[in-house]
Amino acid sequence: EPVPGGPAPAEEPAPRAVPADLDYDGRVIAGISASPGVSIGPLWKFQREELTVAETAPDPEAQHRRLDQALAAAAADLRNLHEEFWKKAGAAKAAIFKAHQELLDDPEMVAEAHALIDRGKSAGWAWRAVYEERAGTLAQLADPLLAGRAADLSDVGRRVLRLLAVVTESVAALPDHPVILLAEDLEPSDTAKLDPARVLGLCTAGGGATSHTAIIARSLDIPAVVAAGPSVLDLENGRAAILDGDGGVLVADPSERDRGRAAEARVKVGERREAERLDRYKPAITTDGKRVEVAANISDPAEAVQAVEAGGEGVGLMRTEFLFLQRDLPPDEEEQFAAYQTMVRAMNGLPIILRTLDIGGDKNVPYLRMPAEGNPFLGVRGIRLCFEREDLFRTQLRAMLRASVEGPVRIMYPMIAVPAELERAKAITEAVRRELNVPPVELGIMIEVPSAVMMADRLAREVSFFSIGTNDLTQYVLAMDRLHPVLAPQADGLHPAVLRMVERTVEAARRAGIWVGACGGVAGDPAGAVLLAGLGVAELSVAIPAVASVKARLRAIAMADAERTAREALDCADAAEVRALVRHRFADAGGLS
């Protein structure tokens, strides 16, 4: 059996290669860069919950049964996880779950817990006492392999304990000093709750660069690395590390030299950012006089003001579904109205695009009780869910339209795949508008499904604007799940297949006389911003911390060069070739990296 963290057998996928230009002395674990920046600090494993157990319990027979049931259920979970990871990421990455199953299958440990129950302890208390004691002993051993098992034992012990304890949701489980967070994966709602002052960086075993976790990390300006594989979870709390969000690696036990260079990199990035920040209100006009609008993506009412302060010329995407996460009931009309009104007022006359609910895919809202799906990204998601739950859709539209009388609100529908959906969404919006008797607002759609690109000429006749969602468009065009731990690195929005989709969309829009924006992650990528602009995208909507830098990049180049390079990029073979081309063509502008 492969040992967690040990070398993978030859026929299994090797751990991700460390980028050749990175030179660290410490132990480098490679993942995918999800949010830029470098940080140095102690590691901390993210825990969603606190587990509480009573010490004693009156009925030992019932406690014996509870313990056995919990052990059986945890073993079943691990078998499922093993199978799932094995399918998604290969045997080497799944091995950890197999190893965890074996750790659980330890008759001596189980017998010790049962003996404590016989002495009047509760099942949870007994189990915790036994596994914590063993993990403690293992952690003391000099053999690093055995010491490493302590983390595994704590992990698997906790998995069982969760079934025996009272679980309280909390994020207060963070220590009182800043840390680099490690997690198996984070849900968008977990990431949205993080306090950026206490989180120096994020590193997840799973996930992808366009996952919503990555998107939130970028908006909070926290360096992040995703898809680093389960071995990152073997690292103990408190261990020193560098999280290199630009290089896409976590470096455990960095040397003095590593720390020095990471600190230098931080200073350099800080200086560049400060220079960009000072110019953030200047428009993005290329050296040959072409203007590109740069707006911000937000997901929370309080971010509207930050978007304006960061130099955003509008909000190109408000992800309204974030108002629906982390709660037990959907926000009612008044609550939503208050949220939208707050944002519209904060924009102070600048336009804001409110996207209607895009629930589904990786944004799960349990209280809606939608049936589980085998393929949620291809399921009842976005506008499709709004048609299933027209009550939610109408309430949201009422709130948006009421807020629209206070400023330039545009409404945008996500996941439109075919013209009939747009027709239906527009009809419902119009009915709600008449009920409220408010003036019409500009309507637009996300272009993020390949069929919408192919039907863009027809769709363009029906709306005022398009906004290209490169995150989803990339996953649907390349048939690579945006969260997939193995495929995600290849699912780069600069792939020529995606760029050709952009070209086609812009052409259809041009013929119909409407404008095209882009609000996926690629719009905030230095090379991506230039290529999209070169393809005729008029508005780039990016994470708040990227607004000033995207403006600065555009001011440094000529549109004619961007157009020429974009045309060449359409003929490249893959995203890597596109990136190399941009580096080469814009070497004077620092290669746009």
Q: Which is nearer to ligand PEP, 261 or 484 (CB)?
A: 484
In the stretch 462-491, what mask flags binding to ligand PEP with x, by CB under 6 A?
-------xxxx-------------------
DSSP-based three-state secondary structure for 64: helix
Of 316, 269, 210, which Cα lies nearest the Cα of 544?
A: 316
- Restricting to residues 429-448, which ones interact with ligand PEP according to CB under 6 A? 448
In the stretch 303-342, what mask flags binding to ligand PEP with x, by CB under 6 A?
--------------x-x-----------------------
Considering only residues 178, 520, 536, 545, which one is a binding residue for ligand PEP as defined by CB under 6 A? 520
β-partners of residue 298 are 318
Order of strands, edge to edge, in the sheet holding 179-183? 27-30, 249-252, 240-244, 38-45, 179-183, 199-204, 224-226, 32-35
In the complex, least distance from residue 428 CB atom to ligand PEP, rounded to whole angstroms: 21
| Residue 410 is a binding residue for ligand PEP (CB under 6 A) | no
Cα distances from 174 to residues 159, 194, 238, 551, in angstroms, run 19, 9, 12, 36
Q: Is 100 annotated in the active site?
A: no
Report d(CA 445, CA 48) in Å as an integer: 35
User: Which does residue 470 bind out of Mg ion, ligand PEP, none, counting CB within 5 to 8 angstroms by kind?
Assistant: ligand PEP
In the complex, least distance from residue 52 CB atom to ligand PEP, rounded to whole angstroms: 36
Q: Which is nearer to ligand PEP, 67 or 215 (CB)?
A: 215
| Residue 211 is a binding residue for ligand PEP (CB under 6 A) | no
In the complex, least distance from residue 381 CB atom to ligand PEP, rounded to whole angstroms: 9
Q: Which is nearer to ligand PEP, 421 or 448 (CB)?
A: 448
Q: Which is nearer to ligand PEP, 469 or 534 (CB)?
A: 469
| Residue 100 is a binding residue for ligand PEP (CB under 6 A) | no
Q: Out of 203, 386, 519, 572, which one is annotated catalytic? A: 519
Q: Is 495 annotated in the active site?
A: no
**For the CA atoms of 358, 361, 365, 370, what is the dihedral angle to 10 degrees?**
100
Contact status, residue 104 vs residue 67, Cβ threshold 8 Å: no
| Residue 360 is a binding residue for ligand PEP (CB under 6 A) | no
| Residue 207 is a binding residue for ligand PEP (CB under 6 A) | no
Q: Out of 82, 212, 484, 495, which one is annotated catalytic? A: 212
User: Which does residue 539 bind out of Mg ion, ligand PEP, none, counting CB within 5 to 8 angstroms by kind?
Assistant: none
What is the full DSSP assignment across 225-289? EE---GGGGGSPTT-EEEEETTTTEEEES--HHHHHHHHHHHHHHHHHHHHHHHTTTS-EE-TTS
In the complex, least distance from residue 303 CB atom to Mg ion, rounded to whole angstroms: 18
- Secondary structure of 273-332 as H, E, C letters: HHHHHHCCCCCEECCCCCEEEEEEEECCCCHHHHHHHCCCCCEEEEEHHHHHCCCCCCCC
In the complex, least distance from residue 472 CB atom to ligand PEP, rounded to whole angstroms: 3
CB neighbour class for 285 (10 Å; exposed up to 12, middle 13-18, buried from 19)? middle
Count of residues in contact with ligand PEP, rule CB under 6 A: 11
**Count of C-beta atoms within a 10 Å radius of residue 454:** 15
Give the catalytic positions in this structure: 212, 519
Residues that bind ligand PEP (CB under 6 A): 215, 317, 319, 358, 448, 469-472, 519-520
